[in-house]
Structure 1
Amino acid sequence: MYDTVHFHIGDGTTDFTPLAEYLSNVKNVSDEDGALLYIEGYIGSLYVKLSHGWMICQNSLSRFYFGINIKRMNLQQIQEAIEKLSDMLHYDVRMFNVTRIDIADCYSMNRPITEYFPCLGELLRFKRINTVENETLTYRQGDKKYGRSLVFYDKEREQIDTRSAILQQLEMPKNLLRYEARYYGRLATRFKEPAITGATLYNEAFFRKLVQLWYDSYCQIEKQMSIIYNGMDLIKNMEGAKEYIFFAALAQLPATFVSDMIRKFKQHHVFCNPSEYTRLHNVIYGNPLITSESELITELNGKVRQTYEEVMG
């Protein structure tokens, strides 16, 4: 499930520039006075930048290993990828610090990918952002230096412009939705580990911890509700009928509608007691006339849960 990984090593004294002979597409980058700043190039599909005292290596570990990044890597394959990279680079990548990890999976869906985005609502302490002409849905906390993001996007569309020779030989699934969690900076603190290195990536306990967080983060996103239409049996009086009509109309709106309204209520200080906002949310979502899942969300929930169960055993 690993995708993009950023590796870094540096002690300020070791000269890593001799390793440039093992790179392809090598380029020297200098300052205005002609002094060498760093050398950049590639090891397979991985981008490498090195200089006196430091070296970084980054891009999709899955693509480096498989040639594509839509397949899951198991622990043995992750270890093999690290060992292969070490051999090609002539340096032990197990020692590198990891400064970014992406973990993801892809799903062939029944409907066009963007139809699923309105079904995904707010996530506490994250900013919900529709980007790239509404073709990507991002939940962002912090920045790309010390933050994390959950991203949903059309993987099939992404591959069209960057399709490799390997991909051209494959029949890509239609409506290929990608759910990806990205973690940036201070990873040892975030994951409560002494250090996170190349060798940590194929440690089973650490891998399971990431998969659990990836799954839990998805589960915490508010999902679009839908009316139980046979819930008419629950209507006993005029007030119940009015309530049913209200929720039937509410179910036609985006999943973020209730949260957006509650946020506006907070801005206008509608309630004196802050707990009333939570109570309002629970009253709406706890009503027996509705469920927490639309048909599309039921499908997506099942796909994500299946990945979790297969990986975690």
Structure 2
Amino acid sequence: MYDKIKLFYPKTREVPDISKLLDKAKEQIDHETGEVCTFGSLEGLKVSIYTGGISIVGSLAKYLYPNNIYPLDRHTTAQAIEKLSDSLHLCLDSAKVTSMEFGTQFVMIHPIESYLSKLGDMPKLLRYHFDAGSLYYKPRGKQQSKVFAFYDKRADAAAKEMTLPIGFADANLLKYEMRLNGRLPQQLGVPDVTASTLSEKSFYQMMVKRYQDNYFTISKQNQIKTDVMNEIKTVSDAFDVFVARLISQSDQSQIAGYLEELKDAGVFPDKKYYTRLKKKLQEVATKARVSVSDELVKELDDEVKNIGAYV
């Protein structure tokens, strides 16, 4: 399920001049340092040649296939790295992976925005719902070391003028990506991440599990039970049903928006009170006796669970 990656091949030994192998290669001189860099492309991949090494950025899926509708598993990833190594006359197995996109798209029953509206908050990340067809979970600040993206793949393909394979042209395609950038060994808890690491079975299985586990940390919008009145025994029960009903009818960004409003006003003297309030609202919204799993949420849950069967 690999797509876009960034590789860096350090010049620790003599390497051949690959500039002649690139399309539209151009040299650029840093007048301050005198360093000469070469920038070009290779079948859609951006290749940059620096004094200290070679940087390769792009979609391995598009490099191996005509498009990235079919993400790469560990076997096809090995094929893509082998093809790239042959094309550049370099053994890239030891090239460092400095960023990667890991994910796939699911063929859904309903329009994509219907599912995105059901996804709530994610621990330690901010929720950004820029438009009906995209949803992002990002850390606060400029350093975007970990981003989770959900978006309408068909709309994305149309915007990029990418032709979809037969059978996908009219499908509701929901893409879910886990994007990791910088310090990958520390982020993933492994000694090193190289091009050859991507096709190792244990590493790939770990990536699939991390991809699934992060999805299931997201709070979901459930449906209120039709027979919920039978569950009300106390005033507290009635209050929970009322609040859960309001939450289920509202956009998932409203809880986060309300918490930000409280923070801006400096309502609580201690940050942990905001966390407690958020947890309480989520607990009320998902109480077993008040709500049941939404049909659309269950469909997406099942899709994410099922990818583990193909590891």
Q: Percent identity?
A: 23
Cα deviation, residue 92, structure 1: 0.9
Aligned length: 308
Partner SS, residue 72 of structure 1: coil
Cα deviation, residue 101, structure 1: 1.1
CA contact (8 A) 1:28 1:36 kept: no
| Cα separation, 2, equivalents of 1:273 and 1:7 | 40
- Per the normalisation by structure 1, the TM-score is 0.86
Q: Does 2:115 correspond to 1:122?
A: no
| Cα separation, 2, equivalents of 1:112 and 1:262 | 29
Letter of the aligned partner of 2:169 in structure 1? Answer: M
Letter of the aligned partner of 2:19 in structure 1? Answer: A
Cα deviation, residue 235, structure 1: 3.0
Show the 5 A alignment for 1:49-88: 49-88=48-87
**Cα pair distance change 1:298/1:169, threshold 3 Å:** closer
Runs of 4+ in 1 over 6 A off after TM superposition: 270-273
Q: Does 2:106 correspond to 1:100?
A: no
CA contact (8 A) 1:41 1:48 kept: yes
Q: Which residue number corresponds to residue 205 of structure 1? A: 202
Cα deviation, residue 3, structure 1: 0.5
Q: Which residue number corresponds to residue 137 of structure 2? A: 139
The root-mean-square deviation of aligned C-alpha atoms, in Å, is: 3.0
CA contact (8 A) 2:2 2:73 kept: no
**Cα pair distance change 1:242/1:82, threshold 3 Å:** closer
| Cα separation, 2, equivalents of 1:145 and 1:265 | 25
CA contact (8 A) 1:200 1:206 kept: yes
Task: Choose which of 146, 149, 154 in structure 1 pairs with 2:147.
Answer: 149
**Cα pair distance change 1:86/1:145, threshold 3 Å:** farther
| Cα separation, 1, equivalents of 2:270 and 2:19 | 63
| Cα separation, 2, equivalents of 1:143 and 1:59 | 25
Note the alpha carbon deviations across 1:94-114, whole angstroms, 9 max, x for none: 121110011011012222212
Q: Does 2:191 correspond to 1:194?
A: yes
Partner SS, residue 18 of structure 2: helix
Cα deviation, residue 124, structure 1: 1.2
Cα deviation, residue 2, structure 1: 0.1
Partner SS, residue 25 of structure 2: strand
Q: Which residue number corresponds to residue 41 of structure 2? A: 42
Letter of the aligned partner of 2:103 in structure 1? Answer: A
Show the 5 A alignment for 1:260-279: 260-262=257-259, 264=261, 267-269=266-268, 274=273, 276-277=276-277
CA contact (8 A) 1:14 1:54 kept: no
CA contact (8 A) 1:15 1:51 kept: no
| Cα separation, 1, equivalents of 2:53 and 2:271 | 55
Cα deviation, residue 78, structure 1: 1.2
Note the alpha carbon deviations across 1:215-256, whole angstroms, 9 max, x for none: 111000111122011222223467655653443233101224
Cα deviation, residue 140, structure 1: 0.8
Letter of the aligned partner of 1:162 in structure 2? Answer: K
**Cα pair distance change 1:114/1:143, threshold 3 Å:** same
Cα deviation, residue 172, structure 1: 2.2
**Cα pair distance change 1:146/1:11, threshold 3 Å:** farther
Cα deviation, residue 186, structure 1: 0.5
| Cα separation, 1, equivalents of 2:284 and 2:11 | 56
Cα deviation, residue 272, structure 1: 10
| Cα separation, 2, equivalents of 1:292 and 1:176 | 25
Cα deviation, residue 123, structure 1: 0.9
CA contact (8 A) 1:110 1:175 kept: yes
Q: Which residue number corresponds to residue 176 of structure 1? A: 173
Q: Which residue number corresponds to residue 159 of structure 2? A: 161
Structure 2 gap ranges (5+) = none
Cα deviation, residue 193, structure 1: 1.8
Q: Does 2:304 correspond to 1:304?
A: yes
**Cα pair distance change 1:271/1:19, threshold 3 Å:** closer
**Cα pair distance change 1:145/1:64, threshold 3 Å:** farther
Q: Does 2:293 correspond to 1:293?
A: yes
CA contact (8 A) 1:244 1:289 kept: no
Letter of the aligned partner of 1:230 in structure 2? Answer: D
Q: Does 2:98 correspond to 1:90?
A: no
Cα deviation, residue 79, structure 1: 1.0
**Cα pair distance change 1:167/1:255, threshold 3 Å:** closer
Structure 1 gap ranges (5+) = none
Q: Which residue number corresponds to residue 235 of structure 1? A: 232
**More moved, 281-290 vs 172-181:** 281-290
